[in-house]
A and B are shown apart, each in its own frame.
Chain A
Amino acid sequence: MTTQNNFWQHNRTVLIFALIALTMPFWFPLMGGYSGLDTKIMIFCIFVVGFDILLGFTGYLSFGHAAFFGISAYVTGIMLKSFSDNIIPAILVAVLAATLVAVIIGLLTLKRTGIYFSILTLAFAEMFDSMAMSMLQKWTGGENGLTGMPTPMLFNLKMQGDTVFYFVTFMAILLFYLAKRIERSPVGLMMKAIKCNQTRLEFTGINARKYKLLAFVISAVYAAIAGALMVVYEPFVGHEFLGWHQSGEIVIMSVIGGVGTLVGPMLGAGFMLYFENVLSVNLGEQWLLVLGAIFMAVVIFMPGGFMEGIARLKKRYFTTVDGE
C-alpha cells in the first residue's frame, strides 16, 4: 500500500467533513438556515468532538463541561475588553485559564466514577455559575452578562460575518483532525481501554489516572476553544454559558448523534441547533418538548444514536452476500 493510499484512508472522514463544512454557506441557506447559525454549529462541533474524547473514549459522563466553555468565554470577553481587541492573545489566555481549572477539577473529580463523577462535575459547574452571579459580578456583569466588547480583530482583519465562519470552520477541521489522530494513537487506545475495563487495564501496570486526566483536560481544552470562539462570533457572555442547561445540551447532542464516534456528536450538534433555531419556528414553544421526546426515543431504542441508525440502514440496504 502506498503512503498516499494510507493518507486517504486515515483522513477520509476529515476531508469529507472539511468539504461539507466549507461549502456550508452555499447549501445551508437552502434548507432554511440563516447565516450565522452555520458558525454556531461549527463552534458546537468543536465542543462536542472534545466532549466525545471524554465520554466516548473513557466513558466518563461529565455534567459540568459548561464550566470550561463559560470560563473561557468570560476570560475572552474580559481580554477583548480590557487588553486588546486582537483575538489571538484573548483566546490563548482564555484556553490557558480554562485548562488550569480543568486540571484542578479533573484531579479532584476523577477519583470517583459513574454517577459520583457526573454529580461532582455538575457541582463544580454550578459553583462557577453561582460565583459568576455573585462574587465575580464586577467582572462578569452578573445577571446582565458581559457586554461592551469591541469588534474582535484577527490582527488587521475584522472578525465579522463570513470571516468568522471560515476562521471557526478552519479551527473545527483542525481540531477534528487532531481528535481523529488521538483516536488512532496509543493514547487513544488507552482511553478506550478505560471504558472497556479500567481494573484490567490497571492490572497490566498502566497508570489509568494519567490517561483519564489527559482525556478530561483535552476535552476541556476543546470546550474552552469553543467558548472563546463563541465570544468572537457574538460579543456577549451570559451566565447561562456556565449553567447546567449548557452542559445538558452537550450531553444531548452527543447522545443523539452517537457517543464514541466523533462524527456522530457533530451530527447531533448540527441537528439540535438546526432543530432549535429553524424547525422550532413550526413547532412554536413546544420545540423543547419534541426534542426531549426525540432524545428519550434515541436513548431507549437506538443507544448508538444517529450513527447506529445509519449503520443499521447500511446493513439492511447495502449488504451483499459476503457481508461487504
Chain B
Amino acid sequence: MDMTLNAFTLSILTGLQLGSIYVLIALGLTLIFGTLGVVNFAHGALYLIAIYLAVSINNALGFGLALILVPPILFIIGVLLERGLIQRFYDRPHTDQILVTFGLAIVIQELLKWAFGANNIPFSIPSWGNGIIFMHDYLPFLEGFVVYPKWRMILVVVAIVTVSAVFALLHLTRFGLVIRAGMRDAEMLQFLGVNINRRFMVVFGLGAMIAGIAGVFGGPVTQVSPEVGMQLLVPSFLIVVIGGMGSLGGAVLASILIGMAQSFTAPYIYINTIIIYLITVIILLVRPRGLLGAKGVFE
C-alpha cells in the first residue's frame, strides 16, 4: 500500500471522526448494558430524538440553546423511559428486553417521521464551526496544503471530552464507585443496603444524555432523517460487542478500531462495505468475550 503521509494523516483524522460518533452512541449502550443488564435496541431512537430536537432548536433559537437544552431533555426522557418501561423488564429474559426496546425504536422512529417527514432536514452549522482547518499549520510534517472540515474536528474533541468526563465520573466520584460495583455484582450491593434502583434510573438517563450530546454535534454530520437511528445502531451494537459487553474501555477501543478500519478501506469499496462485519466475526471467534470483556459478564 503506497500512501503518502498526507493521505495517511487524512485517513487517521477521518477514522477518528467516524469513531467519535460511534463512541458517543456505543458509550451509552454499553453503560446501560453494563449496569442495568438491559439490551437497549431503542438507543438509536434516542439519538434520533436528539438530532430532531437539536435541529429544531438550532434552526429556531440558535445552536447555543440547542447545546444547553438537548442533553438535559434527553436525560429526562431517559429517566422517564426507565421508570415507565424499562424497569418492568429487569426480571424478564434478555430476549424480551430486546423485543420491547425494538418495538419502542419503531414507535419513536415512526412518531418522528410523522412529525417531521421522511426527508433530510438541513442542519446548519453555527458560523464559528463552519469552514476548514489548515492542518499543515499545525502538523509540520505534512507537505503542502492539507485541509479538514472544522466541524468534524470539533466532533472529535467533543467525543474526547465526553469520554473523559464519563471515565472521571465513574472512577473519581462516589457515585461512580457504586455504579462500577453495581456493574460487577448488583445483588451484593443491594445486600449492603445501597439503593441501586435509583442509581439505575440515573444511569439510563446518563446514557440518553450522551446520545443527546451526540445528536447536537453529530446531527450535521450524520444528517437528520428517520433512518439514521437504525443505521447507527447496528454498527454501535457491533462496537459494544467487539469491545466486550459492558466494558467502557472496550467500547472506546472498538470505536477507534472500526472508525480507522472504515477510513483506511475507503478506497477499496468492496472491502469497505463489509469490513465492520468481518472484524466483528473475526474478533468474536478469536475472543468470544470481545476485546476487553470481563469474565462472567453476561455469558
Contact = CB atoms under 8 A, between A and B. Distances in A.
Q: Do A and B bind each other?
A: yes
Interface stretch (A1-9, A92-100, A284-292, A313-321): A284-292
B114 A289 contact: yes
A289 B108 CA distance: 8
B269 A134 contact: yes
A130 B270 CA distance: 9
Given A108-B281, A133-B273, A119 B88 contact: no
Contacts of A303: 92, 96
B106 interface: yes
A251 interface: yes
Given A120-B281, A124-B281, A295 B270 contact: no
A130 B103 CA distance: 25
A150 interface: no
Nearest to A294: B103
Contact of A120 (B94, B111, B280): B280
Given A116-B241, A119-B237, A292 B107 contact: yes
A127 interface: yes
A244 B230 contact: yes
A281 B43 CA distance: 31
B95 interface: yes
Interface in B110-160: 110-111, 113-114
B278 interface: yes
A255 interface: yes
A68 B101 CA distance: 25
Given A286-B110, A289-B114, A122 B104 contact: no
B221 to A, nearest CB: 21
Contact of B110 (A120, A127, A292, A299): A292
A116 B269 CA distance: 28
A184 interface: no
Given A61-B95, A115-B39, A127 B274 contact: yes
A124 B238 CA distance: 11
B107 A127 contact: no
Interface string A248-259: 100110010000
A126 B104 contact: no
Nearest to B271: A135
B103 A296 contact: yes
Contacts of B284: 112, 116, 120
Interface in A45-62: 59, 61
Contact of B114 (A122, A286, A300): A286
B245 interface: yes
Contacts of A300: 85, 88, 100
Interface string B58-100: 0000000000000000000000000001001000101110111
B192 interface: no
A296 B100 contact: yes
Interface string B284-299: 1100100000000011
A25 to B, nearest CB: 32
Interface residues of B, number: 39
Given A114-B298, A130-B277, A292 B103 contact: yes
Contact of A114 (B94, B99, B278, B281): B94
A115, A251, A286: which has the most chain B beta carbons within 10 Å?
A115
B266 to A, nearest CB: 13
Contact of A255 (B99, B237, B274, B280): B99
Interface in B212-263: 230, 234, 237-238, 241, 245
Contacts of A126: 234, 277
B102 interface: yes
A251 B41 CA distance: 14
A124 B277 contact: yes
A118 interface: yes
Contacts of B114: 285-286, 289
A280 to B, nearest CB: 12
Contact of B100 (A111, A115, A120, A299): A299
Given A131-B273, A296-B107, 16 more contacts: A59-B95, A61-B95, A108-B281, A108-B285, A111-B288, A115-B39, A115-B298, A118-B98, A122-B237, A123-B280, A126-B277, A127-B281, A130-B277, A134-B269, A255-B99, A285-B113
| Nearest 8 CB-CB pairings of A with B | A292-B106, A289-B110, A296-B103, A127-B277, A130-B273, A292-B107, A135-B270, A295-B103
